[in-house]
Structure formats: C-alpha cells, structure tokens
Amino acid sequence: MNERLLAQMVLVERLSKSHPAWNSISSELKSSLAGAGGEQRTLSLLKRELILPGETIILTDLSIPNGSGYAQVDLLVVNQKLVCVLEVKNMKGDFYFDSENFQFHRMVDGRPEGMKSPESQLHRAVKATERFLGIPVAGVIVLASRSGRVVEGPKNYPAVSLDYLPFYLESLVGGRKLVDEQKLAAKVRALPKRSFDQNLLERYGLRIDSLRLGVTCPRCRNSALSRKNRKWHCGGGGGSFHDAHEVTLQEYAVLFGAELPTSFAYRLLGVEDKHLLYRLLEKSALRGNERGRRWIVPRRELLEAYFGSIWR
C-alpha cells in the first residue's frame, strides 16, 4: 500500500460520515483500491509467467523526476534487453481513446464517463523514465479487468489485456543487451521515496481537529479505547489490547508527518498522565534535540495489517 492509499483509509475511518468531504474521500478510496488490486494482479501474473533472458526486476509505485515535478509509474519492468513502463487500468466498460487529442472516455451501462487519458498518463511516464535513465523505454497500457473492452484503441501505445501481457512483453525483446538490469534497478531504487503530500487534506480543508482522535478499537472500529492496567480497553465490548496505540501513531504520521508535539500526543492518544504518555511513546516516538517534540518511528506494516483486514 502506498501512502496516499493509507491516508485515504485513515480519513475514511477517522472522519465522521456526516462530514461534507466523507463521501468524496470514500469514493476516491474505492478507486484507489481498484487500481491497487489491478497492479497487484499484474505483478503476480508477471512473476509467475513472464520469461525473459537473464534476470527480470519489476519495480512498483515509482515517482520519476519530471521537470519540477514527478511522473507516476505503476510498474517498471527492467531486463537486460527490455525496459518497459506499465500503466495499469482496472476498469469496466467500453473504452474509447482519442490519440490525436489525448482524450479518453468509457461507456458504462450506456452512460459516457470522461476520464484522464491512460495514453497521456503513460506517455508522460515513459518520457520521464527515458530522460531519467538515458535509454529508450517502451510503454504498455494494461487492461487488468475482464469487464473492460476496447472499442477505439490508442494509436501511440498498445492496450493489452492482462492475460496476454507476458506474451506481449516477450515479443518486445530484441537481440542485443541494452542495460545492466541490476545497476539500472539500483538507480531507480535510490530515488527518494515521496512522502504523502498535503494535497488531499488541503483540497477538502481538513485539519487534525476535523478527525476523531483517540486510540481506535481494532474490533468494533468506532470506539475510542481507554488505558487501564497496562492495556487498552474497549467500552463497546470489543475487548482489550496491549499496543493498539501503535497504529494510531502511524495514522498520524501518514497524514501529518513523523514530528509529533508532546503536548498534542495527550489528545491524540486520549491520555492525561505524563508518565503513562512517556511509557507509550518510549519506543514508538523517539525524543530529539528539540524539547517538546517526538519523532514517530515508521512502521507502515502495522497500518497495512490493520486496514488489510477490512479492505481486502
């Protein structure tokens, strides 16, 4: 799960359903989950069935420098004889590409829906990757859903069904070695990870006070836990837990960054006792040189496990 997906999950759970932004963020989350599902199926299929000479490295969820910004790359296939950007679309409906104007729409149940052009997104990603790596890069639009059908196809890049993708990539391999796949993959992996930006929060005018604070019960999902006898207890009958606050700290870090003011940590975790707070933060949010500040130790696997049980 990338940080934007995790942030959307946190907001959907922490924001009241009566908030004006909840429906829009929930809709965005569903779209993000569909996209992530398509990318995961694509990755799994390539690992099982793609046969290229030598070693093949598949990199996911990349942000490639592009002028003053970044181009998003869903998957990058790196082989000594082929480097290819995959733009994965997990959509249903009939697809219409306008390659002259880089426009796109789909028909779902007889209704047209205009969307960002996958061809335009792929072109941007391919050109940014070529400039960054200094080599020719191929590009493919991957149709991950069997409920999608191309009526008017793109002219500049192929649109390939997921089932056929391994065979199509194998057909692109030429006769000579283009790159050292290990060195190229290392160059891409060395790119700094882009942290979740504040665009989503700013777009909906959300602040920390917009959210429900406290440590959430991982069973009933809507009760704030209380701390007693070294455990977190759910007043709604969800049970008791040892380290439920760890997830809350990670949720805060995804939305607002790793820096946590100690004065706010009381409200975030719903505790009042100073000594209890320090015990809870001792290993999870470390002290720095600046008084009154802690830095949350990143453990995103906690969020993936927490939300993965719901959003399968």
Band of residue 300 on the pLDDT scale cut at 50, 70, 90: confident
185 & 218 share domain:
no
134 & 251 share domain:
no
32 & 150 share domain:
yes
- Residue 207 resides in a domain: no
185 & 217 share domain:
no
Q: Check if the beta carbon of residue 56 is closer than 8 Å to that of residue 50.
A: yes
- Residue 201 resides in a domain: no
184 & 263 share domain:
no
> Which residues constitute the domain of residue 38?
3-189
pLDDT in tens, 11-53: 999 999 999 999 999 998 988 888 888 999 999 999 999 999 9
- Residue 57 resides in a domain: yes
User: Does residue 76 have a pLDDT over 90?
Assistant: yes
pLDDT in tens, 117-167: 999 999 999 999 999 999 999 999 999 998 999 999 999 999 999 999 999
178 & 281 share domain:
no
106 & 143 share domain:
yes
Q: What is the pLDDT of residue 195?
A: 52
Backbone angles phi, psi at 162, to 5 degrees: -60, -40
Q: What is the pLDDT of residue 174?
A: 81
Angle between helices 3-14 and 300-308 (to 10 degrees): 60
Share of the chain above pLDDT 70, in %: 96
Terminal C-alpha separation, the chain: 12
Among 157, 189, 221, where does a domain finish? 189
- Residue 270 resides in a domain: yes
- Going from the C-alpha of 53 to that of each of 80, 140, 143, 152, 181, the distances in angstroms are 8, 20, 25, 34, 11
Q: What is the pLDDT of residue 312?
A: 59
- Can you give the CATH number for the domain in which 124 is found? 3.40.1350
175 & 262 share domain:
no
- Residue 200 resides in a domain: no
- Residue 263 resides in a domain: yes
- Residue 124 resides in a domain: yes
175 & 258 share domain:
no
117 & 169 share domain:
yes
Among 149, 173, 189, where does a domain finish? 189
Greater pLDDT, 198 or 61: 61
Query: Mean pLDDT lowest for which of 82-86, 267-271, 288-292, 295-299?
Result: 288-292
108 & 168 share domain:
yes
- Residue 195 resides in a domain: no
DSSP for the chain reads --HHHHHHHHHHHHS-TTSTTHHHHHHHHHHHHHHHHHHHHHHHHHHHH---SS-EEEEEEEEEEETTEEEEEEEEEEETTEEEEEEEE---EEEEEETTTTEEEEEETTEEEEE--HHHHHHHHHHHHHHHHTS--EEEEEE--TTEEEEE--SSS-EEEGGGHHHHHHHT--SS----HHHHHHHHHTSPPPPP-SHHHHHTT--GGGS--SPBPTTTSS-B-EEETTEEE-TTS--EESSTHHHHHHHHHHHH-SEEEHHHHHHHHT---HHHHHHHHTTTEEE-SSTTEEEEPP-HHHHHHHHHTT--
Q: How many domains does the chain have?
A: 2
pLDDT in tens, 225-282: 999 999 999 987 778 999 999 999 999 999 998 999 999 999 999 999 999 999 999 9
Dist. CA 17–CA 27, nearest whole Å: 12
Q: What angle do CA 171, 177, 178 make, to 5 degrees?
A: 90
pLDDT in tens, 175-229: 888 899 999 999 999 987 765 555 678 888 899 999 999 999 988 877 789 999 9
217 & 75 share domain:
no
pTM for this one?
0.73
